[in-house]
Amino acid sequence: MLQGCVLKNTFAKNEGPSMGLWQTLPGQNVSRILARASVDWVMVDCEHGNIDDAAMHEAVPAIASCGVSPIVRIPDMQGWMIKRALDAGAHGILVPLLRSAEEAKRIVSAAKFPPQGQRGLGSPFAMERFHAAPSMTEYLQHANESLLTMVQIETQEALDAVEEIAAVPGVDVLFVGPFDLGNNIGYPILDGVMQPELERAIDRILAATNQAGKKCAFFATSGEQARIYADKGFHMISAALDTTLLQAALGQSLSAARGQQAPKAGGRY
């Protein structure tokens, strides 16, 4: 396996949930601040974050240089997007809005070199995101087993087929996106309140993932919620997001300066 795959190694040790952070603001300094917060991984959000292809190519090496796994959420499941993220040196990709096992199979194919898939070889950058840096030949030989392929379960169609999706070879992580999942099954999260029907859907995803021997991840909006889902048995949890942390911290500091009651700590989620 490629050296320095922190998240993959954490999964292998199976010593508890892997905690990470979410990056939506561009900039290498933001990446490093997040990566140095004693986490295993940082999610570079190219779907909803203010991060384009060039900013992603800066974030990935910055995170990796701190000894943390850079994971990239791509905007869509198109094969070229998967290629760009992995060629930048990401230790894994997260694909949003999955709907079927067939889509999951196409994603795996785009993320793997032949014979398991159809990924092309040629990036001069990917090897430098591992420690010690492999040769291109070593990267080719070990990337398929080392890099993580993650899919988000956040549509009604994916929930209906979650057992089949979890069983797809090459899918490593099923990532619960609670907001879109709630929207798509008719039980949206409003004012931070999760309905029992959404909770049951999330429990089903976790059960299907465990049955398939894969890993299940959850996007939490606070440290307190992250702890709850860690106790439920989730293997990978996003504990905070850069933008909402900044919003909350500014609100608390300014409120204290003005002698006012501090706002809710969860930012705008």
CA distances from 181 to 58, 158, 195 (A): 31, 9, 12
d(C-alpha 137, C-alpha 241), whole Å: 36
Rg (CA), the chain: 18
Extract the tokens encoding 70.
């850079």
Preceding peptide of 132 cis, ω within 30°: yes
Extract the tokens encoding 156.
């009604």
Annotated catalytic residues are 48
∠ CA(253), CA(259), CA(265), 5° rounding?
40
d(C-alpha 264, C-alpha 67), whole Å: 33
Extract the tokens encoding 44.
């570079």
